[in-house]
Structure 1
Amino acid sequence: MEACGYHVRKPASWVCEGCSKRYCTQCVPGGERNFKAGQPRCHLCSQRLDWRGDGLPRLPFWKRSKDILSYPLRHPAVWLLLTFGVANVIVSNVITLLFFLFISTLLSVYGMLVIAEVAKDNWEPPSPMEGISEGGLLLRQLGLMFVLFVGPFAFASTSLVISLGLLALAAFILPAALMILAVSRSLLDALNPLLWLQLVVTVGASYLLLWLAVMAVTAAPTLLGSANALPALVFLGAVFSAYTTLVAAAMMGALLNEKARELGLGVDEDRGRSLAENEYEVAEVLGAAHIYAQEGRLEDALRVVNRGLASAPVHMELNWRRLRLLKLLGKDAAWLDHLAKFTRHQISNGNTGTAVQIWLEAIQQHPNLRFDDDPALCLSLAHALYERGRIHEAQKLLINLHQRAPRFKGLGEAYLLLARLYLEQGTADAATRLVNFVKKNFPDVHDSEQGRETSALLVRLQARN
C-alpha cells in the first residue's frame, strides 16, 4: 500500500482521483457513522475520496490462539454448546431426534456465521437465533458438501484413482470452500476452483497450518466417542464436539481477517473507525489543518483551527496548533494574546508542566518576552519554572516587577520568590535587598512560613560568606 502524502510512515487509506492526493486515517479520520452522504471529500479539491483500507497489518491467525480457543465459551455461543450436549443426551424418540437434527443443523449454520463475523474482526459471537433465519445458507452449505464429497463417486465406475483423487482434493479444499461460502453467501463462488486457487496461493503456507488445525479439532470428538458411554460422558463429548466445530470456524474467520483485502472476498468493512461526535470534530479539524499547513495554506489552516476551538475551546492540541499558526503568519498581537490565554488556562487547571513547555517554546522565539500587563500570570509561571529548576527563566519574569505593576497585590510574594531564586544562585546581596523590601512593605508576607524559610536560608548563606 502506498504511503500517505502528509504522513510518510502511515499507509494511504483514502485516495482522491481528482487531484491524486493520498491521505491516511489521521488526515481523514472517522468512520461510517461520522460521514454524511457524499463524504468524506478531499480538502483540496472537494472531490469525494475513495477508501483503500486502513493498511494495518493483521495478526496471523495462529497468533490469536487465545481468542480462538475462548470464542465458543463466550455468551451467547456457549448456550448453543450446552443445548447441543443436551440434544445428544435426550435422543430417544422421533421428537427428540428431530430436536437433535434441528440443533445439529443450527450448529452447522452458526459456524458459517462465526466465520463471517470473525473475518470482519468482530469477536463477539452472534446470537444463535440469527442462524435460524439462515435456511438458505444451510441449503447452500449442504449443496457444497454434496458436490465435494458425493460428486467424486460419479467417476468411480470410470476410474477409481480419479474418484479418490477428487475426494482427497475435496478434503484439502474444504476449509477454503467454506470460507468463501461464509463471506460471499454464493454457492457458485464456493465451487469456483479459481477462487480456491486464489485463496490457497494468497494464504500460502498458513493454509496448510489451518487445514491441519481444522482437521485436528474436528477429529478430536470422534476419538473421544464411545457407543456405551454414560449420559454425562455423552453430554461432555457432544459439548466438546460443538466446541471444536466453533473453534475451527473461528480459525477460518481469523485467517480471512488476516488476508481479506488481498483475497477480495467481499467482506463488508466500515470505512475507517467511527469516533464519538466530539472526538470526530476535533480529529477532522486537526487533519484538515495539517493538510492545509503542509500545502502552505496557513490562513486556511488557521480558519479550520478557529472553527474547532469554537466547539472545543480548551482542547490542548488545537490551542497548540493555533499558537504556532499565528506565529508563522506573523500575527504577533493575536499570538501574544493567545499565548497568555493558553498559558493561564493550563496553570489554572493544574497543568503547570504544559504551561512551562508553552513558555519555553515562546521565549526561544522572543527571549525578552514577559506578560507585562498580567503580573499574576508572571508570578504563577515563575513558580512553575522554579519548581522545574528553570531559575534564570523564572527570574526574568519577576525582575523589576514593582516598576511594571506597582499596585500588584502579590508583589510581596513575587519578590520573596525572587529572593529565593537569588539564594539558589548564591547571590546574598540581591536577596537581602529583596527580603528587606518585603519586610518593610509586606510584613504579613515576610512573617509567613515561606518568608521565614527564605530569611533562614539568607542567614545561613551570609554565615558561610
Structure 2
Amino acid sequence: MAESCHYHTSKNASWQCQPCNRQYCSECIPGSSANYHGQGPDCPLCREHLEYIGASNSAKPFWQMGLFYFLYAFKPGPLTVMGIAAAGSLAISSMGLISIIALVTIVAVVSRYNLLVIEKLAGGQMEAPPLTDALDGNGAILLIKVIAMTLIAGFVGFKLIQFTESENIFLLYTIALSLLAPAAMIVLAVTHSLRSAINPLKLLEFTLIIGWPYWLLWIITGMISSAPTVLMAIVAEKLPSWAIMPTAAAVTSYFYVVSSAIMGYICLTRQQKLGITASQEEDENYLEENDFLCQRARAEAQIFLREGDYQGARQALVDGLRRFPNDETLNERYYRLLLATEDKKALQELGPHLLEKFVQINRVYKAAELYLATEPAPPVHKPEVRHALAKVLYQQHKYQFAAQLLNNLHKEPYPHLDAAYLLLAQVYMDGLGREDLAKKLLHFIRQKFPESALRSEIDTLWKVLSSTTKAR
C-alpha cells in the first residue's frame, strides 16, 4: 500500500526523510534533483538528504501490470534486440567460426540487455532503455558472470552426486536452483556482483524481502520461459525453413524481455527494502529557477505552519516575498500567519500593505475576506483600496463595513470620488435604511461633479430616492 504524504494525505509520497520519519509529496518538495544543484533536496525540518521513493511508492502490485510487460517488449530498445537476435541467427549455419561468433554475440546482447531491463525498472525507469545503454563495456563482463554462475551451479551439482551418490539430494539441489534462478539474475542485474548472485544466503534474503509474490513471480516467469517452445511448435510447420531460426531467436528474445520486465518491476515494488537507488525523471519534474524558488518558499512555509513552527514559517515567507512580492499564495499565507499568531501590531502595520497587494493583482475578493477576518480592522488609507474593498463588501451585503471604508473619502485626493460616493449612497439606501444620508451624498456629487460620466446613474438613483420620500 502506497505511503501518503505527511502533509497532504490525499497524495502519494515522493520523498522520505529517515531521521524525521516524514514522507513528502511533490508539492512539499517541488522540482527535481537538478533544481537542487544536482545534490538532491534536503528535509525542510532537519536539512538531511532526502531519499526519492516516488516511482516505488506509486507502483501497483506486479501481478496487476500484466499488459505493461508485454507492451514493454514492443518498445524500440527491445525490438532492436529482437532484430539483432533474428539477424544474427541467420549466420548460424554450422559450428564454424562465424557461427560461434554470431551465437556469442546474440547471447551477449540479449543477456546484457535483459539485465539492464531489470536494473532500470528496479530503479524506477518505466521506459525501456535504448540498446545503446547496454553497449557500455559491461556486456562482456556480465556475460562472463552469467556463464560463471551456470558453471558454478553445474560444478556444485556434480560434486553433490560425486560425494553423496544420492539422486534425491541432486533432485533437491535442482529444485533449489530452479527456485532461486530468478533471484540470482535479479541480484546480478542490480548489484553486478557474482559473489552476491551465487550466495545462497543472499538469495534467500532476497526472496524473504520480496515475500510470497516472489513465488508467484517464479511461476509466471517459468510459464513465460516455456512460451517460445510452445509457440514455435505451433508455427514452425507454417514457416519456410530459412525463417524458422530468425523467428525462434526473435520470439525467444521477446519473452526474455517480458520476463526481465517482470523481475525488474517486482524489485521496484520493494525498492527501499532491497536498498536499490531510485532514479528520478529529471526532465519531467524540472522547474525554471523562478518557479522553483517560489514553489519552494510556499511549500516550506506550509510545512513549518503544519509543524507549529511559526517563526520558521514567517522567515520562509519573508524570504519568498523578497523575491516574489506579488505572489498571491505567499501574500495570503503571510497574512494568515499573522492572523494565526494574533500579531495585532503586524496586522495593523502590514495588513494595509498586504491588502493593497491583493487589490493590485486583481484578487479583491481575497482582500475582502482577509479584511473581514482581521480584528480590529486594519487602517486602510489608500482611497483606491478602500473603494475596491467596499465594492466587494457591498455585493456581499456587508454594508456596515463598506460604509466604514467609504466614509470621509472626500478628505483624500481621489479621482473616482463620484463613483465611490455613488456606491456609498447605494449602501445607505439598500443596506442601512438611511435614505436621508444617501440623498445628501447624491446632492454633493451632483454639485461637485456636474460632468461626471456616472451622471445618468446618479440621476436615476436621485429619482428613486425622491419617489420614495414622496410616498412616505
Same fold (TM over 0.5): yes
Whole-angstrom CA distance in 1 between matches of 2:80 and 2:340:
62
Q: How does 1:49-448 map to 2 (within 5 A)?
A: 49=48, 51=50, 54=53, 56=57, 58-89=59-90, 91-92=92-93, 95=98, 98-99=101-102, 101-132=104-135, 133-134=137-138, 135-148=140-153, 151-156=156-161, 158-226=165-233, 227-228=236-237, 229-230=239-240, 238-264=249-275, 267-269=276-278, 276=287, 277-282=289-294, 284-286=296-298, 289=301, 298-299=310-311, 301-326=313-338, 332=344, 334-336=346-348, 338-350=350-362, 352=363, 355-371=364-380, 373-386=381-394, 389-392=396-399, 395-396=402-403, 398-405=405-412, 407-421=413-427, 425=431, 427=433, 429=435, 434-442=441-449, 443-447=451-455
1:78-126 Cα offsets, whole Å, 9 max, x none, are 3223333333456557546633541332111111011111111111322
- Further displaced range: 283-292 or 136-145: 283-292
Larger CA deviation: 391-400 vs 410-419: 391-400
1:379 offset after TM fit, Å?
2.0
Cα displacement (A) at 1:308: 2.5
Decide whether the 8 Å contact of 1:6 with 1:291 is kept in 2. Answer: no
| Partner deviation per Cα, 1:240-287 (whole Å, 9 max, x = no partner) | 4322211211111111111122233xx223699985444554455456
Call closer, same or farther: CA 1:189–1:6 in 2, change over 3 Å: closer
| Count of residues in Structure 1 that have an aligned counterpart in Structure 2 | 449
1:215 CA displacement: 1.9
Q: 1:110 to 1:297 in 2, by over 3 A?
A: closer
**What is the aligned-residue identity percentage?**
23
Q: What amino acid is the match of 2:368?
A: W
| TM-score (ref. length: structure 2) | 0.77
Is the Cα–Cα contact under 8 Å of residues 59 and 268 in structure 2 kept in the other structure? yes
* Letter paired with 1:366: E
Q: Does the Cα contact within 8 Å between 2:16 and 2:50 map onto a contact in 1?
A: yes
1:188-227 deviation per Cα after TM superposition (whole angstroms, max 9, x unaligned): 1111222222222222221122122212222222211154
Give the gaps of 5 or more residues in structure 1: none
Say if 1:198 and 1:427 are closer, same or farther in 2 by CA, change over 3 A: same
C-alpha contact (below 8 Å) 1:383/1:394 kept by paired residues: no
Partner-residue secondary structure (3-state), 1:80? helix
Does the Cα contact within 8 Å between 2:112 and 2:142 map onto a contact in 1? Answer: yes
For the Cα contact (< 8 Å) 1:391–1:421, is it kept in 2? no
**Unpaired runs of at least 5, structure 2:** none
Distance in 2 of aligned mates of 1:464 and 1:137: 101
Distance in 1 between the 2:455 and 2:244 partners? 85
Structure 2 CA distance, aligned partners of 1:131 and 1:29? 32
Q: Structure 2 vs 1, CA of residues 307 and 202 (structure 1 numbering), >3 Å: closer, same or farther?
A: same
3-state SS of paired residue (1:13): strand
Using the alignment, how far apart are the partners of 1:113 and 1:144 within structure 2?
17
Report the Cα distance in structure 2 between the residues aligned to 1:177 and 1:293, rounded to whole angstroms.
48
Aligned-partner residue type, residue 273 of structure 2:
E
1:431 shift after superposition: 5.3
Q: How far apart in 1 are the matches of 2:133 and 2:377? A: 70
Summarize the Cα distance change of 1:397–1:164 in structure 2 as closer, same or farther, 3 Å threshold: farther
Supply the distance in 1 between the matched residues of 2:454 and 2:42 (Cα, whole angstroms).
64
Root-mean-square deviation (CA), in Å?
4.4
Superposed displacement of residue 386, structure 1 = 4.9
Alpha-carbon distance in 2 for matches of 1:386, 1:76: 65
Shift of 1:181: 1.0
